[in-house]
Amino acid sequence: MRHELLLTAIALILLVTDIMLKPSQKPRIIPVAMVLFSIHTIAGFFPAQEGILFGGMFRATPLISMMKNVLNVGVLIILLQSYTWLMKEENRDKMSEYFILMFSTLIGMYFMISSGDFLMFYLGLETATIPMAALAAYTHHQTKSAEAGVKLILSSALSSGILLFGLSLIYGSTGSIYFSDVALFYGTEPMQVLAFLFFFSGMAFKISLVPFHLWTADVYEGSPINVTSYFSVISKGAASFILVLILYKVFFQLIDVWQEVLYIISILTMVVGNLFALRQKNMKRFLAFSSIAQAGFILLGMIAGSQLGMTSVIYFVLVYIFSNLGAFGVVSAIEAATGKINMNDYDGLYITNPKLSLLMMLAMFSLAGIPPVAGFFGKFFLFTSAASAGYYWLVFIAVLNATISLYYYLMVVKAMFINKTETPIATFRSDGMTRAGLILAGLGIVVVGFWSQVYEFINSLSVGLLY
């Protein structure tokens, strides 16, 4: 409960502080928010009390607080990276709203991950989704941002509706909404399979798996870039965490059904995400489709239904947070400094901005899964877990897809290091906060890969199917 209480207190403090500040003093909210959130992130790592609250609606276990810590680290990096953009004149009046909205979505995700029944799960999901639409429409005078907001709120409301219909059928067939009771009474009756499929479709919208991915690219392109990185990393990570928990803890009797569903959806997601990423020229859209393809790989880890499966999913999300935030950090730093967002603007970046290019290269290698960096180990464990459950063909297809993805990730590296242009992006120096965010992401990409204790720690907390 400490995570939730602390973050709610921080959001309220910021809200009150914002009222008391004069318009000219508004930028002071940024260091306050950063310091408070850093304290919150560090406090999260101290061991917390385990237990069940509100008659089973809220659970706290070491595994769950570790998931929350993973999300916290990601949000901290995003906050640091958004400093330059927040300090722009157009955001001066509303910069505290950025923090408050972001923290309320994070509180929703905490409750969603900690939920012990479907009511709390639904509330957490909506608390995480509704403020996010406001974040997407944050630069409300830009048509693209407004369009992203409306696309996000409508598609997520539809997906919640579908998910809720599934939940109502689950309630009808089991008579309970508590995870532990539903797990006891859940079988493979047609109505229960149908209910599960409704539920899974709703979740697939949130993780942007393939038949439900069409909102992703537009919302990612239209939103402010730091909000985009928040969607692609934190919101996707939180939804993957709760999906793996619910699949393993509630629907374990249905394992034959959801393994088939995951099999098909993960192949579709990887293939479609990769093929569409190939033809993107805008970096935001490119990263959107790359993140769809990465979601396909996450499903690959879930399919095993073993302890290894859960470990590999959490570990991959941790690695993915660092690598994607490395890439988004560079894109956002360049956009804030020059306003350029297309891939061919990156030609010759290495000559003018070598450090940024190196970080971008690290991030791209990590997303593609090239050995020395963390992304390789993330993918490796996902493949191991799927192969250990006997899914050799699926792993084969996934390896093929990883090879395709290598092509487009290396296109970015090629643009920066090899392509020559007469007008490269001029040399610029970001401010301290942004640089700290970039360095943290870069460190994460390297350290998480080499420091095997991270993986072993996650493995010691994970659990397989209950049975």
Partner 1 sequence: MTGTIPLQYFLIISTLMFFTGIYGFLTRKNLITMLMSIELILNSVNINFVAFNRYLYPDNLHGHFFSLIVIAVAAAEAAVAIAIIINIYRNFRSIDVDKVDEMKF
| Site for partner 1, rule CB under 8 A | 118-119, 122-123, 126, 130-131, 133-134, 137, 140-144, 146-150, 153-154, 157-158, 160-162, 164-165, 167-169, 171-172, 175-177, 217-218, 221-222, 276
Smallest separation, CB 93 to partner 1 (Å) = 16
Name the residue nearer to partner 1 (CB basis): 18 or 117.
117
CB of 277 to partner 1, least distance (A): 12
Break the chain down into helix, strand, coil percent, rounded to 5: 80, 0, 15
- Which sign, positive or negative, has the C-alpha torsion 148, 151, 155, 157? positive
Instruction: Determine the Cα angle at 260 with ends 257 and 265, to 5°.
Output: 125
Q: Least Å distance between CB 261 and partner 1? A: 20
CA dist 315 and 221 (Å) reads 27
Q: How far is the CB of 14 from partner 1 (least distance, A)?
A: 20
Q: Which is nearer to partner 1, 235 or 366 (CB)?
A: 235
The smaller minimum CB distance to partner 1, of residues 178 and 241, is found at 178
As measured in angstroms, the least distance from the Cβ of 378 to partner 1 is: 29
Angle (CA) 449 450 455, round 5°: 65
Q: Which tokens go with 25?
A: 């003093």
Token pair for 202: 């709703």
Residues 384, 71: Cα–Cα separation, whole Å: 24
* Closest distance to partner 1 from the beta carbon of 285 (Å): 8
Q: Which is nearer to partner 1, 32 or 194 (CB)?
A: 194
Q: How far is CA 60 from CA 9, 36, 56, 68, 454, in A?
A: 19, 23, 10, 11, 21
DSSP letter string, 235-299: IHHHHHHHHHHHHHHTSGGGHHHHHHHHHHHHHHHHHHHHHHHHT--BHHHHHHHHHHHHHHHHH
Distance between CA atoms of residues 439 and 416, nearest Å = 19
Three-class secondary structure of residue 59 per DSSP:
strand
CB of 103 to partner 1, least distance (A): 17
Please identify, using beta-carbon distances, which residue of 118 and 365 lies nearer to partner 1: 118
Q: Smallest distance from the beta carbon of 151 to partner 1, in angstroms?
A: 8
Give the nearer residue to partner 1 in terms of CB position, either 110 or 138: 138
Q: Which is nearer to partner 1, 183 or 298 (CB)?
A: 183
Which lies closer to partner 1 via its Cβ, residue 34 or residue 275? Answer: 275
Choice between 168 and 459, CB closer to partner 1: 168
Q: How many CB atoms lie within 10 A of CB 422?
A: 6
DSSP string, 331-350: HHHHHHHH---BGGGGTTHH
Nearer to partner 1, 123 or 439 (CB): 123
Find the shortest distance in angstroms from Cβ 274 to partner 1. Answer: 15
* Start-to-end C-alpha separation, the chain: 28
117 forms bridges with which residues in the sheet?
178
Minimum CB distance to partner 1, residue 95 (Å) = 19
In this structure, what DSSP letter does residue 423 have?
S
| Contact assessment for residue 425 and residue 346, using Cβ atoms and an 8 Å cutoff | yes
